[in-house]
Amino acid sequence: MKKIFKALTILTIASVSLVGCGSDKEIETAKEAPSASVGQAEKDKEESGKKKDEVTKKEEQENKEELKNKEKENKNEEKEDKGGKESIDLSVKPNEMGKVMVLMYHNIGEEEATWVRTPENFRRDLNTLYEKGYRAISLEDFAQNNIDVEEGKTPVVFTFDDGNQNNFNIIEKDGKKVIDPNSAVGIMEEFNKEYPDFNMTATFFINGLKPFRQDDLIEYKLNWLVDNGYDVGNHTLGHNNMSNVKDPLKIQKYIGKQAQFLESFVEGYKVNTYALSYGGRPEDKHTDLLAKGEYEGFKYENVAILNVGWDPSVSPNHKNFNPLAIHRVRASETNVDNVGMYDWMEMFENHPNRRYISDGNPDIVTVPKKYEENIDKEGIKDKKLYLYEEQ
């Protein structure tokens, strides 16, 4: 899971100033070139500083690996504690063949529009989902069927397209740089502080070379997201509509160059999810290049590819599930043609048998027996399958 990069210290929003952001100088990512007149002593000092930086980066990587190992150990202990089939509470009517909403957001702004949610409405979205029993999981976990939410709850995936500034904005307050409380990240962090069991996370799909539109904060923001349990995905170099691209080299350039750019800011991180711009795919003979390819020696491989949204995704346990063509739901109430997130939530309320309901055990796939014929029994791999007759 990408959450292995979770930092030892988690920054809070708005009320707490950002670490390392006390001044413009402290958060600058660009380095001034040394003067040609620098003496040997200064060069030696610079070399020493570089070596110290290398040591620091190595130590940070070792700390991340240590956290990764501890998280694995903790999860193994949790799995052992959860027990086997006899521990499953059938009274919650678990159905891990039900559908899952992968929500598609774009902007957070002052005026509601087709591709814009106001801060108030986004907060309402989060509260409504929480109250109706939804719990957030990462896109990568969903795509790889690593769903781990409490029993009786339904997983939901958050995604944001384009990487606009209103998704993750830094402002000044009382002379300090803080996360804008009305940006998407600010709102989600505030909500997660109040409801930690929601497990707030999201994937931000970024196109172009100016993520979140504050050039001097690119490295800071990308690292902050990864360190705080969020993910960064690919939305191509120029928001490219692949249905218009016939050249296989250009397909690989638009995906590969963007992934390489984003990865250059976050050591050890792999950009391995991709949201199709305009939902466009190239002609069939080049479709494979969306998932895997190479550009100027840089190789990319995506574990999840997302369509433009209008309906929930089938469960990863379903034989029709394709992680390279995941359906999404419009996270809006404007011009959604009765297929927005609130329409689907109402549908699940009226037809609860169509909704994914967790059994609370990530190692067991619990499904009403009547859905057995649609289960991808090979795809569930080493998980145990528990079929039961509904009462």
Is 326 a residue whose pLDDT tops 70?
yes
Q: Which domains does the chain have, with CATH numbers?
A: 2-25+57-388 (3.20.20.370)
Q: Which residue would you say has higher pLDDT here, 66 or 369?
A: 369
pLDDT at position 84 is 85
pLDDT at position 17 is 41
HSE-up of residue 361 (Cα within 13 Å, Cβ side): 22
pLDDT tens column, 172-228: 999 999 999 999 999 999 999 999 999 999 999 999 999 999 999 999 999 999 999
Kindly indicate the confidence band of residue 391, based on its pLDDT and cuts at 50, 70 and 90: confident
Is 227 in contact with 200 (CB distance < 8 Å)?
no
Of the given ranges (19-28, 56-65, 77-86, 380-389), which has the lowest mean pLDDT? 19-28
Of the given ranges (24-33, 116-125, 183-192, 195-204), which has the lowest mean pLDDT? 24-33
HSE-up of residue 190 (Cα within 13 Å, Cβ side): 19
Q: Which residue would you say has higher pLDDT here, 112 or 49?
A: 112
Q: What residue type is 389 in one-letter code?
A: E
HSE-up of residue 53 (Cα within 13 Å, Cβ side): 6
Is 307 in contact with 299 (CB distance < 8 Å)?
no
Which residues share a beta bridge with 179?
170
Q: What angle do CA 222, 160, 310 make, to 5 degrees?
A: 160
pLDDT at position 36 is 39
How does strand 364-368 pair with strand 384-388?
parallel
Is 363 a residue whose pLDDT tops 90?
yes
Write down the mean pLDDT value for the chain.
86
Is 45 a residue whose pLDDT tops 70?
no
Is 155 a residue whose pLDDT tops 60?
yes
pTM (2 decimals)?
Answer: 0.81
Instruction: Decide: helix, strand or coil at residue 202.
Output: coil
Cβ contacts of 68-72, under 8 Å, gap ≥ 24 = 68/4, 71/1, 71/3, 71/4
pLDDT at position 71 is 55
pLDDT at position 130 is 98
Q: Give me 297's structure tokens.
A: 């020696």
Is 23 a residue whose pLDDT tops 50?
no
Average pLDDT over residues 246-261: 98
Q: Give me 225's structure tokens.
A: 């997201």
